[in-house]
Amino acid sequence: MGLITDLLRDPKAFILMAIPLLYSIIFHELAHGWVAYRMGDPTAKLMGRLSLNPLKHLDPIGTLMLFFVGFGWAKPVPVNFQNLRPRRAGLILVSSAGILTNILLAVAAIFISHLEPVYSNKVLATVFFWLIRINIVLAVFNLIPIPPLDGSKILMGFLPARYQYYFARLEPYGFFIILALLLLLRIL
């Protein structure tokens, strides 16, 4: 079911998975804020969200859902896309930043995991296994073009203006569409 089952069954294994999960999510969100800041939007910086502090990025409901249901979310880094220069490229780059960060973390973890001191140490090997797996899953999942996932914003950046309006109308239903897809995947 959720992560709570893993915690109760094997607390040590849970910690070895939870730490890579936590920091993969933090770096994903931090990347959005940092790229937005570099492209002209100071919102994340002004709100103190350019931070490695987990408390700045954890959403209480999303965290509880992760523990009890197995599906959760972080607190999205606030971005005012109107401040980005250039705006369309900014939308694409800011939205891609988290995904690219997850890919880079996975690739780096793959290389590091092949070093002798890592793969010969069971604890480190487990941490790197989870770091690779979690970051690949986060990158692929966030590529799905359903709002509010990053893939939807990337697609929005490439859509002609006349289609952006129609695509944006999916936003209120995105969470429910994603939830339905996840439930369907669990059934299959």
The position carrying tokens 């937005």 is 36
The position carrying tokens 């401040």 is 83
Instruction: Tell me whether residue 29 is one of the annotated catalytic residues.
Output: yes
Phi, psi (degrees; rounded to nearest 5) at 157: -65, -25
Are 17 and 130 in contact, with CB atoms under 8 Å apart? yes
Nearest in space to 16 (alpha carbons), one of 131, 125, 133, 127: 127
Q: Which one of the listed residues 21, 24, 25, 29 is annotated catalytic? A: 29
The H helix count followed by the E strand count for the chain is 11, 0
Q: Is the preceding peptide bond at 86 cis, omega within 30 degrees of 0?
A: yes
Are 151 and 91 in contact, with CB atoms under 8 Å apart? no
Catalytic residue set: 29
